[in-house]
Structure 1
């Protein structure tokens, strides 16, 4: 890794995109501030939330909104001291503007970028990464979901793995556990991809945490966007995430463009994840919402078209079979959304209206 001055502890940059995340973001932030052994620069990018996300962050940082730990795993036993310095921006700031958190921070702080509109996951990530790349002491860039909880040792474990892994590794992942299913794995560092159907899955999905040895990252096709770290070399080689996916498959596309850079696994960088907390992603307990399925099926086609266009007939046949299953179960709204998504049709009205008018060109733009 590179990016820190001589003798200085390497800093972990944390990029978190929020959109209507009021119910989960404070757990995420409190868990990060409890890390005892790792300096961090934490950048939130809010995608024009329409709930109380921004006010919740401001009130929490100022000490006006109390936070108390719940029984969810990974949370610290007590809140971090307040106030927490909150620095807000309307665009990625220049070098030297980001506060420090964690080890070595005299006045712990976080940064909040207001994106101005819902730019989708990749758009928010790219703004946060732009700010972090301007900080020369940031050696590793951790993309973390706002509905994730990072136990105190996770940030340090991630940084140690990257420091010891060598320059040939460009992406890093750790174990992701379901926050609501104690001990069950959502994705173990990375995921697999079938480029004929466009279907993806998490390594060791639903396997008990206690029974699963660390996986071999040589079998990873990508790293889950819920907890994904990249190096400066990766960013310089690959560039930013493609923003036309809007939701889903951005991290798969990113990994497929990595060239000769390998994927690594970080033992101990375990997080807990509330899967689909804001957009209704499919989980082990429920099917996906029409909103999530529209983007999931649309972007499945988009990815296959970009990386294996000869497979489009196979991917279409597989996806239409899934649409038929949804219809036979009586979930006609989900079936319609998935059908429209994969076939490049305009989204259902209910899906379209969940996106603000000014953001619709980004969300529903063409190929």
Structure 2
């Protein structure tokens, strides 16, 4: 009996500190064949070169202290140039985009490559700062979901440094502000039953499984968000295809490794705040345009709260993103000038399809 097949997309940008551990955990997956594509968004820290060294066996992953036992895969490991499937093993392809396409652009690039494989009906989008226990990939591959099929399937995301603490178990959106909420946030993994997908608005982009039916019906992710809200937007366009939940689809997420997202013990970095609230207002214009005023009131209140706690750079970045302004200098230096130009061309948060 042949093993189930699952495609995996990892979008990397300056991911040298996490990508080897992520790949080692995926290669240790049992009961499934994985076609893994690493889509590198023009990293400047040598991520592709490090991957090649790791694949040759010249650079080791740091797997000590993980919440589960992991044995490194024997090297060398082949890095293919296109998505592929092996008869009895996992495969890895390294796809270099040559430019920073953003999260959605990288995901679309990877899924398009995997969609060329006829046997690949599910595409697991996973953050490179995640590690997965050996049974997670198989669980995602065989979980039946609703009888009518599903759009996006999620599982449980736990904090890597607090392995019994839930980061997200599916998410909801507050309609008057556009703020997203993590179900079961900070709850105990051991004491918390699985969440009900009928109560979710979206599945986190840190670990989400896309069905081929959804991908071919709805199309790829919108890329103009660049970072944040792409998966929320995608989920709200699912029409009659429901969300699904895999109880054994557990991953551990380091969080904030590349862009400075919030963790359980610190606020998000200015870079993350700028893009998150830029994207939030784009999202509100598309889905809840009659609630923009209340969304802006939330913006002002949150910026005041951050400034009052001494996070002045964070408050400035939040305001600039939400109101369509150029990013502060301490944010802008993170990306090339030409990329900022492309991003700011849509400063009023509108695209052709919105006007």
The answer to whether 1:104 aligns with 2:84 is no
Cα distance, 1:265 vs structure 2: 0.5
Secondary structure at the counterpart of residue 43 of structure 1: strand
Map 1:85-164 → 2, pairs under 5 A:
85-88=78-81, 97-100=82-85, 104-105=88-89, 108-161=90-143, 163=144
How many residue pairs get matched?
A: 347
Cα distance, 1:361 vs structure 2: 3.5
Distance in 1 separating the partners of 2:174 and 2:61: 42
Q: Comparing 44-53 with 351-360, which one deviates more in the overlay?
A: 351-360
What residue is the counterpart of 1:27 in the other structure?
21
Q: Of the candidates 69, 73, 77, which is equivalent to residue 80 of structure 1?
A: 73
Residue deviations 1:137-176 (CA, integer Å, cap 9, x gap):
1021100000000100000111111x35433311100000
> In the alignment, is the contact (CA less than 8 A) between 1:244 and 1:365 conserved in 2?
no
Change (3 A) 1:193 1:121: same
What residue is the counterpart of 1:231 in the other structure?
211
> In the alignment, is the contact (CA less than 8 A) between 2:145 and 2:244 conserved in 1?
no
What residue is the counterpart of 1:246 in the other structure?
226
Cα distance, 1:290 vs structure 2: 0.7
Distance in 1 separating the partners of 2:313 and 2:154: 34
The answer to whether 1:41 aligns with 2:35 is yes
Cα distance, 1:68 vs structure 2: 4.3
What residue is the counterpart of 2:353 in the other structure?
none
Distance in 1 separating the partners of 2:69 and 2:254: 13
Q: Of the candidates 289, 306, 312, which is equivalent to residue 269 of structure 2?
A: 289
Cα distance, 1:52 vs structure 2: 2.3
RMSD: 1.4
> In the alignment, is the contact (CA less than 8 A) between 1:174 and 1:270 conserved in 2?
yes
> In the alignment, is the contact (CA less than 8 A) between 2:56 and 2:75 conserved in 1?
yes
Distance in 2 separating the partners of 1:164 and 1:60: 36
